[in-house]
Structure 1
Amino acid sequence: MRKIIEFNESKFEDGVLHLHTEQDDLIKGIKPAGQIIADSERFAFVYLAENEEEFVYLYLDESIWGQLKKALEEKSRVIVKSKEESFELEGFHEELDYLISNIEGNGNYGDEMVKKVETAFID
């Protein structure tokens, strides 16, 4: 079964984008894997992290894309935070830039995903 982390709050603090989760149990012991993939069915980007046994999927849902765009434009650090743990999403800018350029005009991701990404990040 996939381990999925979702964020209940995202906000900029001192030029850093903080993604907050209450899923402390899943955050413990994970490390950034430095890769982002797309979930076209849920209209989300998924940052891959890992623990000793498996990948953990950090869902960057459409609701925070405006802040992700700002983080890209300003080259802001992106930090995942829970009550007890925090870590930076390594390779975030390069990976998201690459994925956005791949999705642009590419029907393989589904027309609706392409439209949403182009509207949020390119238009």
Structure 2
Amino acid sequence: MSERIMITNAIIENNELMLSTDSKANIADLTATGQMLVDSDQLSFIYIVEKDEGYQYISIPYETWNVIHEGLGSGMEANLAAGGHKLKLQGFSEEMEYLISNIKGNSNYGEEMVAKVEQVFAAPSA
């Protein structure tokens, strides 16, 4: 099973969207893939990163979506921050916009996921 890095905080800082974690994750050796998935059961978006010969998953929970929505609306780049390192999440905005458009009104993602995405991302960003 691939390791999961849980995002615990999302902030806008210096015109960048910063996603951070409380874990001791070493992100210095991670490579952004520009690919994302949806975890409807956990109400999370998942950004995939490469590490050595495998993958790790960055789990982006519902609690951070309002700040992400604001960052996306302002055209900000997204970064992962942990342990004094920063990793630019290539393709984050494009992937998020694609997933959001697919989830809205699509019951295949589950009622709760659809409702939460529509609640947060249907409103105009600040």
Normalised TM-score (structure 1):
0.93
Aligned length: 123
Deviation at 1:23, TM superposition (A): 3.2
> Match for residue 109 of structure 1?
109
Which runs of no fewer than 5 residues in structure 1 stay unpaired?
none
Moved over 3 A (4+): 22-26
Rounded Cα–Cα distance in structure 1 between residues aligned with 2:120 and 2:25: 32
Deviations 1:81-119 (CA, angstroms, capped at 9, x unpaired)? 112321111001110000000001111100111011011
> Match for residue 40 of structure 1?
40
Deviation at 1:49, TM superposition (A): 0.6
Counterparts in 2 of 1:21-100, with a 5 A limit? 21-100=21-100
Normalised TM-score (structure 2):
0.91
Aligned-pair Cα RMSD in Å: 1.3
Query: Which amino acid is the alignment partner of residue 100 of structure 1?
Result: I
Which runs of no fewer than 5 residues in structure 2 stay unpaired?
none
Cα gap change, 1:25/1:66 in structure 2, threshold over 3 Å: closer, same or farther? Answer: closer
Rounded Cα–Cα distance in structure 1 between residues aligned with 2:27 and 2:43: 23
Deviation at 1:26, TM superposition (A): 4.3
